[in-house]
Amino acid sequence: MRLSMIGWHGMFKKDFPIFKKTDMVYLDTAASAQKPAAVLRAMDRFYKTAYSNVHRGQCAWAAAATKAYEAARQNVADFIHADAANIVFTRGATDAVNLVAAGMAQTLKPGDEVLISIAEHHANFVPWQQACLKSGATFQVANILPSGELDRADFARKLTPRTKVVAITHLSNVLGVLNDAAALTRSAHAVGARILIDAAQSIAHVPLDVREIGCDFLVFSGHKLYGPTGVGVLYGPADALANLPPYQFGGDMIRQVAVSETTFADAPAKFEAGTPMIAEAVGLGAAVGYLNRIGWDKIRRHEEELMEYALAELAKIPEVRLMGTAEKQSVIAFTLDGIAAEDIGFVLGKKNICVRVGHHCAMPLHAHFGRAASARISFGLYNDAADIDRFIAALREGMRFFK
């Protein structure tokens, strides 16, 4: 395993300009991924050669901008095996969840229930909590097993004909556990519920096919997919988007405005009020193209080897306590006996090693595990065995410092 990963050293890191003049070890991809040159070039080229607003302008720049924007939509659609008409550009996964939750809150009523899991990121927890408070619906939370896996028995008990919405993560940003999105979708549909899959963490690490999952909504952010910040995606089949009320108003989402009445465009325009994030969408389309050129086989092999090596090295440190013992993908959260998570981050930061410390926008999950905070490392294409070696060495040195 070690020799195999040495062979991977630098294979992808060279594609990311930020690493050319630094010795930073970046192990925080779960928070935000670094950007490959292909994305930076695409956005720079768009701003320099074809920037204009989209959809209504008549000049050549407007036509080129509209073509680039809609081509990005098609690229994203192809990436998850959807139709372009089912792809809504948002400001990020958080915005996409809020869009769905705000729309569903208009149809929920007392006696209805919304079911999520305790492992949800706050962005897929709080919007549904607030939707229930506004509508009078009941907020249900399924438990997580000590292994970090979803407690399917508890989930099944809480999934009833009263459940109108299920919202659940595909890949936990703390536990690294991948849920079976297709099986959860079948369960939700069996009781007549709509289901939203939060794919913010999984989108860059596992291939997604929304046709196989069958979900009503799926959301993800561009910045975790090696694309720019400020852009995300809401996927929904035609019927789900048609029945979802709009979230914001004005601009491109309008069909007709009169003093007496306003009518709205069909999806996806119905949900893209105002001037969209045009250059960011172009960058996201380029990020998808970059990953397609690498291919899922290489991506998964690279990350599986990194994960196996990192877990093996952490297992040699008796003081390490992992968050959950189930099989993990791309994310490892842990604590150290007798050392606060913030102190771990401090000593690693002094060694130019970037990790995440805190609750990772998952306070209920940490409370469930009886921990106030944890340290988290997460991998991207630019990571290699040397990064893990430096992380482990700095972690051991920091432990000696605090002892």
Backbone φ/ψ region at 272: left (φ over 0), alpha (ψ -120 to 50), beta: beta
Choose, from 132, 215, 354, 361, the residue flagged as catalytic: 361
How many CB atoms within 10 Å of residue 298? 15
DSSP state of 391: H
Q: How many Å apart are CA 254 and CA 262, to the nearest integer?
A: 7
Contact 54, 65 (CB under 8 A): yes
Cis peptide before 228 (omega within 30 of 0): no
Q: How many Å apart are CA 286 and CA 179, to the nearest integer?
A: 28
- Distant-in-sequence, close-in-space partners of 400: CB < 8 Å, separation ≥ 6: none
Helix H or strand E encompassing 335: strand 331-336
Contact 365, 8 (CB under 8 A): no
Q: Is 59 noted as a catalytic residue in this protein? A: no
User: In terms of DSSP bridges, do strands 217-221 and 194-198 run parallel, antiparallel, or are they unpaired?
Assistant: parallel
- Distant-in-sequence, close-in-space partners of 19: CB < 8 Å, separation ≥ 6: 13, 26, 34, 382
**Residues annotated as catalytic (active site), given as ranges:** 361
